Amino acid sequence: MFTAQGPTLPELAVQALSSVERGYDLLAPKFDLTPFRTSDRLLEATARTLEPLGPFGEGLDVCCGTGAGTGVLLRLCERRAVGVDFSAGMLGEARSAHPGAPGGPEVGWVRADVRRLPFAGAFDLAVSFGAFGHFLPGERPGLFAGVRAALRPGGLFAFPVGAPPRVGSRAYWTLWGFDAAMRVRNALWRPPFVMYYRTFPLPGVRRELADAGFEVGTLPLEELGRREDGSPRCRLVVARRT
């Protein structure tokens, strides 16, 4: 949740009225103090689940922000971890947080719009955390094709997906309300700020990944527990470039 050291309400309001890129530039210095940064618990569960699928040589963190996922890559990849994001502010924070260690894997930062990823066959592993809400459904095929192209044959694209809240639950209505408010904001205000919670359904995403040329599976993130019906609270999508 938000803390006293985190962004103030007026700061958040200005950020929400900016473009996605500018909004994150403004938020960058305090981003790690917000609930938008991926939690260490989720990062740890992802790292442990991916570890047996390695070793990996080079890894790419798609929409790296301040480098939460790049830290996972630095643990899993032997040669190089690269974070890509279009916010210069977020990349600046990431660079300071992950300078790299002597003898450890190289660290690199690339400023680019991930809808047009500038890589070809360069990575064994790509990860992404907490960013898919920034893409309209129609943009996903291009994004997935770009990640596929960035991977070597047999490379893995992995990202966590939470179980959708039960219809009618408090969490369900909270996310529904957030998305509705965002649609109103985007109908009334320019530039748009694309961030929707309910536009990333796992069955559709699996189909889109398969269409882009991935063999898709999921692994339960057991450390995050199970729901009452026994299903995992969070799964890791593991899509292998065929």
Residues that bind ligand SAM (CB under 6 A): 20, 24, 36-38, 63-65, 68-69, 85-87, 90, 113-115, 129-131, 134
Nearest residue to 205 (alpha-carbon basis) of 111, 141, 151, 155: 141
Q: In the structure encoding, which two tokens stand for residue 19, read together?
A: 């473009």
In the complex, minimum distance from the CB of residue 48 to ligand SAM, in angstroms, rounded to a whole number: 17
Name the strand (E) or helix (H) holding 14.
helix 9-16
Name the strand (E) or helix (H) holding 58.
strand 56-62
Q: What angle do helix axes 88-97 and 20-27 make, rounded to 10 degrees? A: 40
CB-hemisphere CA count at 13 Å for 63?
A: 21
90 or 216: CB nearest ligand SAM? 90
84 or 230: CB nearest ligand SAM? 84
115 or 183: CB nearest ligand SAM? 115
189 or 231: CB nearest ligand SAM? 189
Asked if residues 94 and 73 have their Cβ atoms less than 8 Å apart, the reply is no
3 or 169: CB nearest ligand SAM? 3
In the complex, minimum distance from the CB of residue 240 to ligand SAM, in angstroms, rounded to a whole number: 22
How far is residue 53's CA from residue 200's CA, in Å, rounded to a whole number?
Answer: 25
In the complex, minimum distance from the CB of residue 242 to ligand SAM, in angstroms, rounded to a whole number: 25
In the complex, minimum distance from the CB of residue 135 to ligand SAM, in angstroms, rounded to a whole number: 7
In the complex, minimum distance from the CB of residue 64 to ligand SAM, in angstroms, rounded to a whole number: 6
In the complex, minimum distance from the CB of residue 103 to ligand SAM, in angstroms, rounded to a whole number: 26
37 or 231: CB nearest ligand SAM? 37
Angle at 205 between CA 146 and CA 127, to 5 degrees: 50
Q: In the structure encoding, which two tokens stand for residue 181, read together?
A: 């408010």
How far is residue 240's CA from residue 141's CA, in Å, rounded to a whole number?
Answer: 16
Q: What does DSSP say about strands 106-111 and 77-85: parallel, antiparallel, or unpaired? A: parallel
CB-hemisphere CA count at 13 Å for 59?
A: 31
